[in-house]
């Protein structure tokens, strides 16, 4: 379960807004969904695992928030078009899109297969493109929207063993900047958040020795929390961030300087 501390979290007013969060079943996506709901948004939860989505929905509901779990495979283009249409028909609007879903298939470039490359690019880059294309229509009609794409510091500085992942996250930053300039005239902002090392099940599996090495690399001397990424997203998704677009907010404890 993502770490949360709503008592101390950033507060923004998302009352009456509808958000769509991909990869919302765990980790950073779960924290983003919970945070947006805590700030008043109705959050449509997207992921493939129905049971995990139900758990996140219950977290939100038990805290007094509103959510709508929608199982979806973001690698399927038809499913993306359909789920966006469903959100708009069901809730009447769509104000916030957070492209968080992502996968890794790590290996060094000499051993990386075509399938390992294609799978990562399909989920991490093609799916955000498809979602942004789909949501741009209702957002342009209502002349308001916030799109936040979850990139990574790996997309800025690269990371050995992650040619596919780093390429997808670098591409997402370029896509963010371009779409932001296309949609800015309709009061739609498009930004990226680039996390560094964030505490998760994945980092827990690294073991104490490797974790110590990671912490020594980070000037803040600790891993980030999923809630710290979620709060950055909440600000960029809020009405207060209306003059911030085409930007990449790095949240990494000073890792890349």
Task: Examine the pLDDT at 5 and tell me if it is beyond 70.
Answer: no
Rounded distance, CA 250 to CA 252, Å?
6
pLDDT of residue 2: 45
Task: Examine the pLDDT at 4 and tell me if it is beyond 60.
Answer: no
- Length of the chain counted residue by residue: 257
Numbers of helices and strands, H then E, in the chain: 10, 7
Percentages of the chain per state (helix, strand, coil), in multiples of 5: 50, 15, 30
Question: In which band, very low, low, confident or very high, does the pLDDT at 76 lie, cut at 50, 70 and 90?
Answer: confident
Task: Examine the pLDDT at 6 and tell me if it is beyond 50.
Answer: no
- Active-site residue flag, 165: yes
Average pLDDT, the chain: 94
Domain ranges of the chain: 11-250
Q: How far is CA 136 from CA 51, 97, 123, 141, in A?
A: 30, 10, 19, 8
pLDDT digits (tens, 9 = 90+) for 10-51: 899 999 999 999 999 999 999 999 999 999 999 999 999 999
pTM over 0.75: yes
CATH homologous superfamily of 11-250: NAD(P)-binding Rossmann-like Domain (3.40.50.720)
Rounded distance, CA 72 to CA 46, Å?
6
What percentage of the chain carries pLDDT values higher than 70? 96
The active-site residue out of 144, 165, 197, 235 is 165
Mean pLDDT, range 6-12, rounded to an integer: 74
Question: In which band, very low, low, confident or very high, does the pLDDT at 3 lie, cut at 50, 70 and 90?
Answer: very low
Question: With contact defined as beta carbons under 8 Å apart, do 176 and 134 qualify?
Answer: no
CB count in 10 Å sphere of residue 167: 18
pLDDT digits (tens, 9 = 90+) for 102-157: 999 999 999 999 999 999 999 999 999 999 999 999 999 999 999 999 999 999 99
């Amino acid at each position: 379960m993502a770490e949360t501390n709503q008592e101390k979290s950033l507060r923004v007013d998302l009352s009456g807004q509808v958000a769509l969060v991909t990869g919302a079943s765990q980790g950073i996506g779960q924290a983003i969904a919970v945070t947006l709901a805590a700030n008043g948004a109705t959050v449509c939860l997207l992921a493939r695992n129905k049971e995990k989505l139900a758990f996140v929905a219950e977290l939100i509901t038990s805290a007094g928030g509103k959510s709508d779990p929608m199982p979806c495979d973001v690698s399927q283009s038809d499913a993306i078009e359909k789920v966006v249409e469903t959100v708009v028909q069901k809730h009447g609007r769509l104000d916030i899109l957070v492209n968080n879903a992502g996968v890794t298939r790590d290996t060094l470039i000499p051993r990386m297969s075509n399938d390992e490359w294609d799978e990562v690019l399909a989920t991490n880059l093609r799916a955000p493109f498809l979602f942004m294309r789909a949501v741009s229509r209702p957002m342009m009609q209502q002349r308001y929207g916030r799109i936040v794409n979850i990139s990574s510091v790996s997309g800025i500085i690269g990371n050995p063993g992650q040619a596919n992942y780093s390429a997808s996250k670098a591409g997402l930053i370029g896509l963010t900047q371009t779409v932001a300039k296309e949609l800015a005239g309709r009061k739609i902002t498009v930004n990226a958040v680039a996390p560094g090392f964030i505490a998760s099940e994945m980092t827990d599996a690294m073991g104490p020795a490797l974790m110590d090495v990671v912490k020594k690399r980070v000037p803040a001397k600790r891993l980030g929390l999923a809630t710290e990424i979620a709060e950055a997203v909440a600000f960029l998704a809020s009405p207060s961030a209306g003059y911030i677009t085409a930007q990449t907010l790095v949240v990494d404890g000073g890792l890349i300087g």
